[in-house]
Each structure stands twice: as C-alpha cells, then as structure tokens.
Structure 1
Amino acid sequence: MPEQAAPERAIPEQAEPERAIPERADPARWPDVARLPAPRPVRTAVAAHLVGRALRRLPLDVRVGSTPGAATATRRPDLTLHDPDGFFRRIGRDGLIGFGESYMAGEWDSDDLPGLLTVLATRVDDLVPAPLHGLRPLWVSTRPGRDRNTRRGARENIHRHYDLSNDLFAAFLDPTLSYSSAVFTSFPARFEDLPAAQHRKIDRLLDLAHVTDGTELLEIGTGWGELALRAAARGARVTTLTLSTEQAELARARIGAAGLGDRVDVRLCDYRDVEGRYDAVVSVEMIEAVGAEYWPSYFAALRAALRPGGRVALQAITMGHRQMLNTAATHTWISKYVFPGGLIPSRRAITEHAAAAGLRTESDLGFAEHYAQTLRLWRERFTANRRTVADLGFDTVFQRLWEFYLAYSEAGFRSRYLDVRQIVLTEGTPR
C-alpha cells in the first residue's frame, strides 16, 4: 500500500547539531527558570554534599567552569557546571525538578546528555543514601490539583503538549508523524529507517487486534492519523478519538488527501464519552496521559466499547511497580513541563485494572531498546533543526527543555528504567 506522508515542510538539516546558547529566560513564560531560589544555605550545602558525593562515585567526568567538549582521556559522559551555586540551590529546593530547571537555565551542560542521564537513571535508587530515603517528602512536592484529568482538565493537559504546533512536531518526527516507539529490524537505526519502522509497529498492532477488511475499529488517541490511515487502507472503518484540535485538523487533512475520508471519522471526544461497540480497539501510548485516578474509567471504557469476541491492542510505556507508586504522588520535572497530569503505569497496574474491568491479558511483548533508538533519532533531528524551531517562535529555554525531555526519555529506555509494551486484552477473567 502507498505510504501517506505528511505535507512537505522545508526543514533545513544542519551539518553539525547546534547547542542552544542560553539566553535570559522570560520571567513571564519561565518564572521558575528565570529566577534562582532564595538562598537557603543549609539546604544548598546538603544538596552539594549529597549530589557531589553521588556524582564522584559514578562513571562520569564532572567539570566546574570548563568548556563542554574539553578533551577527556576516559571518554565517559561529562557534566560541566557553569554555575555551581545555581545548580545546587535549585536541587536543594526542588530535587530533580531543580536539576532539569538548572539545565533549562544553562547552568550546566553535557556533550553526551543521554549518556549522562542513562548513568543517573541506572543508579537512580543509589543517588540518595538509603538512611535518607525516609526524608523524601521534604524535597519533593505533590502534584497540583489543577493537573487532574477531569474532562476539562484532560483537554487542557493535552492542549499544553500536543497543541504546541504541528510544525514543531514535524521538525523532528519522520513523515508519518508517528509520536510513539517504532519497531526496527536492525541497530543502530538511521532516520531514514523510521517511516518503515513506524509502519511495522502500526501493522503489528493492527494484526494483534485482528483488524482486516470490514473491521469496525475504535482508536483512542488519534495522533496525526497514521494508524487510522493504515487501518482504513486494510478496509476497516475507523472511529478515532482525540482531544487535540491541532492533531484533529491535520489528521483530517491527511485522511482526506489519501481519499479515505469515507472510512475514517476523526472525533474531538473524551474516551469516557465514547458510544457504540466495536470489533477492535487500539490505543497507542495514550494510557500514560490518563492518570492513575482515571485508570478504572479508561479500562471500563475499553471493555464497554468491545463487542463479544473483540480484541484490544495497547501500546504502553511502563515502569516498575514500586517506582510507579513513588512517582504517582510526586510532582516531577516531566509532569511540570512536558506531560501535566500524566503517569506511566506498571505492568501490574495494567493487568490489575484490566482484570477489574473484565479484560484478560492475552499477550504482552516488551521492546525497550526500540524506543531508545526512536528517541535518539528524534533528538538528533531536533538538535539538527534548532533554527527551524527558533523560527517557529520557540526560545532557547524551550529548546533546552525539549532536548532534555528527549534525552531524559531515551535514558529511561536505555537503562531499562522504562519499557514499552504491546499488550492484547480480551474479554474474560485471568486464567
């Protein structure tokens, strides 16, 4: 079947990736980056001692006041501190949120950001001495109530990420505009491999859901429409739901351009308001945006939408159950700046909530290394196209935020702190 590409955009590739040169953060746009925390000497000293001690024990090169790129005999990931006082003040006040905000502010850099973050992710449980784990509530904050995924809150949370700009996402995604893990056949992957790898992922999900000619398919989470296009080309009739107005507009345009508008209905609709029953339900990396409070509603909606004998195919990012429980009540850098209201589930949480809704886990396959490769390619393309991102109106604080987010996510999969899985659910209780 012919590939349906996104509309052409002129995105010049740079010969060498550019570093986002820090500029003074706009205090209206970035209040917690623009201003340093008020001096709290004791907390800053404790942070400097604990973090400094942890960094010295890790396979990293830590430099103070030197230039990124300085020669190192070890070729280990580096962390170059331009403003140690700002770095430790932020961590002393806000822990890992402060660590990310310090990067956004340009107070530290690394020539191998994903390598550095992979080392930290691998040793994350050892960064703070065990006797001090009980003091965790003193340096982490709880999630703000405004981020709850009520119907109104979910629309706002989706808007804050997915409605940033279709052109922004086109600046680093491949022409399929698929914003989820691809499935590769060889490593290391090249950017040119991404469209086929994304189609391989989509086709595997459609196969798992038994989507064929005549299937009535519900997709929860449209993205920019690539899965709906692939399913419609098989002869399926697709109802696809999204809360993103930007995504819905472009998805409809792409589907219309492919001549498949009579087979795909793109709806601005919350999953809790879905009507009708379907032969199959597919949802790709959408559960992470639901929030733990609403997982029972999500799985109940999946079950209610399924006809007898139907199948649900999910692609979901997962983390360990203990890590999930710690993260659930914590306001993190990701929840503050990237995915408000989101939470990555554990496999156990998925299985238990699915079972409570009357769904049985039939198969469950993980492929974390493929997501690490996908994120690497996105990050490399993003950094190569900084000028395009800047021309779209995104300042250097945003660029550093996005670079940190992509590298942070890549490190999660490289370290196996995170996984990504394709899961098939069918009606019935666990065997």
Structure 2
Amino acid sequence: MTLELHLRRPVVDDHVWPDIATVPRSLRARAAAPLTMALLRRAAERAHVRVEIATDVAGQIDGPVMLIADPEAFARRVGSCGLIGLGESYMAGEWDSPDLVGVLTRLAGVISTAVPAPLQRLRSIHLPPVPDVDDPRTSHAARSNIARHYDLSNEFFAGFLDDTMTYSAALFDDPDTAGWNDLASAQAAKIDRLLDRAGVGHGTRLLEIGTGWGELAIRAAARGARVHSVTLSGEQLHAARARVAAAGLTDSVDITLTDYRDITGRYDAAVSVEMIEAVGYAHWPTYFGRLAELVRPGGQIALQAITMPHDRMLASRNTYTWIQKYIFPGGLLPSTEAVLAHAWVAGLHVTDRMSLAPHYAATLRLWRRRFGTVGAAALPPGADDVFIRMWNFYLAYSEAGFRSAYLDVEQFAFRVGGPQ
C-alpha cells in the first residue's frame, strides 16, 4: 500500500464536521504541541511503533508505523483533546497507518504508563467533560442517544454484518483462524449459550433488553419461549419485526419501543446483550434493580457486557471520549467489579461467567474487513470520506482494545434471589 494512498486528505464539510475542519489554535493547543510529540515518541518507543513524518518517507510502507502528514495539526489536536484529538486527527487525514489495528493495539498496551503520573492526574482538568446532553437521564435522551448510532440505516449495518444481523461478539470454535463463513454460526453459538444459561425453553416467558435486529428473539421463540423484546431504535424495531414475521414467529415474539425503566410484567428469565454499555454510570443501580424486579425469584438472567479495567473506568467515568462523541453518546463501559457489585446489591447471585475477548477481536476483524467492501449505496445518507474514516477508526480502535487486553467482554449468568 503506497504512502500517497494512505495520506490522501478527505474533503471536510465544516457544517457537518466542524471540529474536523478546524485545527485548535488556542494558546493552550500551541503550547501543548511540543510536549504531545515528545510523549508520542516516548509511547511509540515503548510500544515498538515507528513514527514517521510523511515528507521524510518514500516508497512502500508496511507494519505498525504512524505516518504523520501534518505534525503541527496532529500535535495540537492531541494536545488539546487527548484521545479525542487522536481520532479526530485520523478523521482529518493528518495521520494514517498501513496497520492501524497493529499501531493502536501496541499503543493501548502502554497507554497507562506512557504518560507520566503527574500529567495523568491532570486528566480531569485538561480534557473536556461529558456534555450533559449525552446523559441518558430520561427515556427521551436515551432514545436520542441510541438513534444516533443504530438508526444510521439498516442497509448500512447489513453491509458489514453477517446474515444474522448480530452486532455483538460471536463465539467461534477457534477465533485465531475464524473466517467470514464462520461468523453466522459463531453468532448462533453465542446466542444459544446465553439462552442456555438463562434456562430458556418451551413455555419460558423471556424478556430481552436490547432487541438488535431480532436474532436472539427468533432463536428463543424457536425453542418455544414467549418473548418480549424492547428496543429504543426505530430502525431496528421495524427490521426486527419483519425478520420475526418472515420466520413465522409473530405470535411468540412481541417487540416494543420501550425504555428498560418503563417495562412492566414479570418474566421467567431475561437476556441482555451488550446493552449495559449505553446505560450510563449513574443508572447502573437502576438497570440491575429493574432486572431483579422483572424476573421472578429463582429466575435466570444472562448478560453479555463489554468491560474495562476498574481503575480505568473510575478515571474515565467523567471524561468525554472519542467513542462517546462520535459513536456511542451517553454510555460508559463498566468494569467486571462494577457489574458484580451492582448485581449483588440488586439481589442477583452469579452462577456462571466466561470471557470472550479473543472472540470479539476476531468478530471485529471480520466486520472491519467487510466494511472495507461496503459500496456507496449501502452508506447512510450524507456519508462522506470523513464518515468512512471515522468508522474505520472505530472498528480498528475497538479491535485493538480486545487484542491488547485493555477491553474484555464477558457473559454473566445470575439467579434472582441468590443461591437455591
């Protein structure tokens, strides 16, 4: 892959991408730029990542190398906004890499030690706070946050997901050798394991929090369960209902546009897959409390959740991140400790746990490669080169998180009311 191809700068519409079109020009940004480049080179040396200025490089470029086309713009963005600036600089085409996942994986492995401790303590002062508008304190705000991601268009997600339209970590026989043709069956295996842990069978009254595109509800109904599934995405609601109807399971599956806080009734079991990440730190007690209220005593609950280290969660819970700004507004990844603590307070007893981190890395690898083949017709209305770079960075950034063990994803099973 040639240098010229990698450093082609996108055309930026400043009405759509105001923060990408404008490089920070404040005194703070200018003053931070030299320190930023020094810290980058320190981190890159520890991570065994090459940092090259584009004008100094020619010919074929391979491997974990950062090619920086505009060092001053890059340094000002990162110096002003940290990892938000790193992502925005990539979106602006100010840096690139022939191995983006490799670079981000290696940097993630040293991120907690590359910045000196005194500077890390200034994180909450220097970096932007989480805007109140993104806090899902009301059902309306939560629906708005979900819509910004999941309502891009069903066609867009269909462009890089497999035929099951499942947008969460799969469970492969061997994640290291998994290929595209293995993905659909691996998603089915993941879903079936969750349904097994929740004890879902014939006659089970099952609650699903977070419908996605309906695959879990379909597989549960095929077992004979009666499913109530809730979502906050209008696009997913229509697509999931259509898929349920096509499977001939309309009488067994009820999908509604409902906030988890507004659900009524009592169920034998509940399943929720990678939905807690959108709940928000302040609302985790409510989330687990509602699960405990909605499932009968002795009933089973199965969750799949992306987690991060507890100390990093505490450090970042009040910090605005690139993922929050551009991909998932209003959310926060919990730690395993937070999941277990809130579950215990709600009266939920852990019966099973399993990590799927290597499986998520493989899932994201397959999505990312498929995304590179998505045609213009499948992109959301108004999508441009900056949008494509944003999604490339998001998928690579996420994959790197799991490959570096900075992130984990776990399946948890709980019994309501403690051990029997």
Q: TM-score, normalised by structure 2?
A: 0.94
1:248–1:266 Cα contact (<8 Å) kept: yes
Paired position in structure 1 for 2:21:
34
Distance 2:336 2:47 in 1: 30
- Following superposition, the deviation at residue 373 of structure 1 comes to 0.1
Identify unmatched segments of 5+ residues in structure 1.
1-17
Distance 2:381 2:14 in 1: 20
Q: Deviations over 1:42-81 (max 9, x none)?
A: 1222212222332234311211115999446xx6401000
3-state SS of 1:24 partner: coil
1:62–1:80 Cα contact (<8 Å) kept: yes
Distance 1:184 1:69 in 2: 40
Q: Deviations over 1:111-140 (max 9, x none)?
A: 011110000111111221223222223431
Paired position in structure 2 for 1:359:
348
Paired position in structure 1 for 2:400:
411
**Structure 1 residues 308 and 86, CA gap change in structure 2 (3 angstroms):** same
**Structure 1 residues 389 and 55, CA gap change in structure 2 (3 angstroms):** farther
Distance 1:369 1:298 in 2: 27
2:274–2:305 Cα contact (<8 Å) kept: yes
Paired position in structure 2 for 1:182:
170
3-state SS of 2:372 partner: helix
Paired position in structure 1 for 2:299:
310
Q: Which letter maps to 2:168?
A: S
Distance 1:325 1:386 in 2: 40
Runs of 4+ in 1 over 4 A off after TM superposition: 18-21, 66-70, 388-392
Distance 1:249 1:43 in 2: 48
1:183–1:201 Cα contact (<8 Å) kept: yes
Distance 2:39 2:265 in 1: 55
2:279–2:332 Cα contact (<8 Å) kept: yes
Paired position in structure 1 for 2:310:
321
1:147 aligned to which of 121, 134, 137 = 134
**Structure 1 residues 50 and 267, CA gap change in structure 2 (3 angstroms):** same
Paired position in structure 2 for 1:129:
116
1:22–1:397 Cα contact (<8 Å) kept: no
Distance 1:428 1:95 in 2: 44
2:330 aligned to which of 317, 328, 341 = 341
Distance 2:223 2:66 in 1: 50
Distance 2:267 2:335 in 1: 27
1:80–1:108 Cα contact (<8 Å) kept: yes
Q: Which letter maps to 2:110?
A: R
Paired position in structure 1 for 2:96:
109
**Structure 1 residues 22 and 175, CA gap change in structure 2 (3 angstroms):** farther
Between the two proteins, the alignment pairs up a number of residues equal to 412
- Following superposition, the deviation at residue 306 of structure 1 comes to 0.6
3-state SS of 2:173 partner: coil
3-state SS of 1:316 partner: strand
2:296–2:416 Cα contact (<8 Å) kept: no
Identify unmatched segments of 5+ residues in structure 2.
none
Distance 1:279 1:69 in 2: 63
1:168–1:392 Cα contact (<8 Å) kept: no
**Structure 1 residues 390 and 204, CA gap change in structure 2 (3 angstroms):** closer
- Following superposition, the deviation at residue 337 of structure 1 comes to 0.6
Alignment partner of 1:420 is 2:409: yes
Paired position in structure 2 for 1:6:
none
1:20–1:396 Cα contact (<8 Å) kept: no
Q: TM-score, normalised by structure 1?
A: 0.92
**Structure 1 residues 430 and 332, CA gap change in structure 2 (3 angstroms):** farther
Q: How does 1:47-62 map to 2 (within 5 A)?
A: 47-62=36-51
Output the aligned Cα RMSD: 1.8
2:105 aligned to which of 110, 118, 134 = 118
Q: Which letter maps to 2:310?
A: H
Distance 1:144 1:391 in 2: 25
Q: How does 1:7-406 map to 2 (within 5 A)?
A: 21-40=8-27, 41-66=30-55, 70-71=59-60, 76-149=63-136, 150-186=138-174, 187-390=176-379, 392-406=381-395
Q: Deviations over 1:389-414 (max 9, x none)?
A: 45854101010000100000000000
User: After alignment, is 130-139 or 197-206 more displaced?
Assistant: 130-139
1:142–1:329 Cα contact (<8 Å) kept: yes
- Following superposition, the deviation at residue 207 of structure 1 comes to 0.5
Paired position in structure 2 for 1:8:
none
Distance 2:187 2:210 in 1: 16
Q: Which letter maps to 1:116?
A: V
3-state SS of 1:330 partner: coil
3-state SS of 1:282 partner: strand
1:68–1:109 Cα contact (<8 Å) kept: no
- Following superposition, the deviation at residue 290 of structure 1 comes to 0.3
Paired position in structure 2 for 1:3:
none
Q: Deviations over 1:235-284 (max 9, x none)?
A: 11000000000000000001011111010000000000111111110000
User: After alignment, is 254-263 or 127-136 more displaced?
Assistant: 127-136
3-state SS of 2:38 partner: helix
3-state SS of 1:177 partner: coil
Q: Which letter maps to 1:250?
A: A
Q: Deviations over 1:345-398 (max 9, x none)?
A: 011101111111111111111120000000000000001225444585410101
Q: Deviations over 1:21-53 (max 9, x none)?
A: 532211111110011111533122221222233
Distance 1:285 1:52 in 2: 35
**Structure 1 residues 133 and 267, CA gap change in structure 2 (3 angstroms):** same
